[in-house]
Amino acid sequence: MRDRHEGANMGKENVVLRVENLEKRFGGLVATDDASFEVERGTITGLIGPNGAGKSTIFNLISGFYEPDGGRVEVNGIDVTGRKPYEVADAGLIRTFQTPRKLEGMTVREAMLVGPREQPGESFVKLFTDPEGVASAESANLAEAQRILEEFEIDHLATQPATDISGGQMKLVELARAMLADPEILLLDEPVAGVNPTLRNDLAEQIRRLNEQGTTFCIIEHDMEFVMKLADPVVVLNQGNVLMEGPPEAVQSDERVIDAYLGGDA
């Protein structure tokens, strides 16, 4: 019941991502209904909710993959509502996908090198007018990719075909590649779905390490244990709207959340 939705804490300081009254309808289906929340710099904010709560839709709206029917999205104080995904990325927000995207015909380090933004070598003209600049940028990016792969302890995969590694390793590579884009805030869509427990711990550790080094995270995750261990605060979505926000303990013991998950009063 809507009147039990208390919404998110909207009074935060130093906000990286602000979502206000976001709306999205697919025909008659309301996927996101007046959703508002904020992600504070330096946090790992969890975004949970039962199936169909509109988590993935919100990610798609924020990152520019869907155009919202109403509301506003701000990244770093820049209004990116309805902007193209690359413009949202330019504002400092990078996202990953639920199912790992495999880059056919590339090695892992090639796939990593897609990450860095604004590479001079991505301009057709500069390939011919400034080959030295392209080469030095490429060398720098390659070194950076190697460094990040080492930090993630997957540098042994560097020259493997990107299609040959396991799903869990792919998730690590995705996270590593997203870091190459140097984001202010990283949106992770179910980072541990289908990942074995060992790699799951690796991923949690990496996310925590990156967070300590200054990257803000917003994570959708179905694995409660994972998200409750990692995220603070946790935002609960239900029926396209923010049900509540709070520290993991408060969320876990909240009756409305339990009801929402059990479908009690939906």
Draw the binding track, 120-139, toward another protein (x: CB under 8 A; -: no contact): xxxxx--xx-----xx-xxx
Q: Locate tokens 């330019």: which residue?
A: 90
What whole-number distance in Å separates Cα of residue 71 and Cα of residue 68? 7
Of the pair 180, 236, the CB lying nearest another protein is at: 180
The amino acid sitting at 187 is L
Q: Is residue 29 a contact point for another protein (CB under 8 A)?
A: no
Q: Which of 129, 68, 65 is nearest to 97 (CA)?
A: 65
DSSP alpha helix (H) spans, 152-254? 167-180, 197-212, 224-230, 248-253
For residues 115 and 179, the answer to whether their CB atoms sit within 8 Å is: yes
Smallest gap from Cβ 159 to another protein, in A, equals 3
- The token duo for 194 is 């289908």
Q: Is residue 161 a contact point for another protein (CB under 8 A)?
A: yes
Q: Residue 261 has what DSSP assignment?
A: H
Of the pair 15, 88, the CB lying nearest another protein is at: 88
Draw the binding track, 58-77, toward another protein (x: CB under 8 A; -: no contact): -----xxx------------
Q: Is residue 55 a contact point for another protein (CB under 8 A)?
A: no
At CA 238, angle to CA 217 and CA 215, rounded to 5? Answer: 5
Smallest gap from Cβ 246 to another protein, in A, equals 29
Of the pair 57, 96, the CB lying nearest another protein is at: 96
Contacting another protein within 229-248 (CB under 8 A): none
For residues 252 and 228, the answer to whether their CB atoms sit within 8 Å is: yes
Q: Is residue 110 a contact point for another protein (CB under 8 A)?
A: yes
Q: Which helix H or strand E contains 18, and what residues bound it?
A: strand 15-26
Q: Is residue 27 a contact point for another protein (CB under 8 A)?
A: no
Of the pair 164, 225, the CB lying nearest another protein is at: 164
Which spans of this chain sit near another protein (rule: CB under 8 A)? 63-65, 84-86, 89-90, 94-97, 101-107, 109-110, 113-115, 117, 119-124, 127-128, 134-135, 137-139, 142, 158-159, 161-164, 177-178, 181
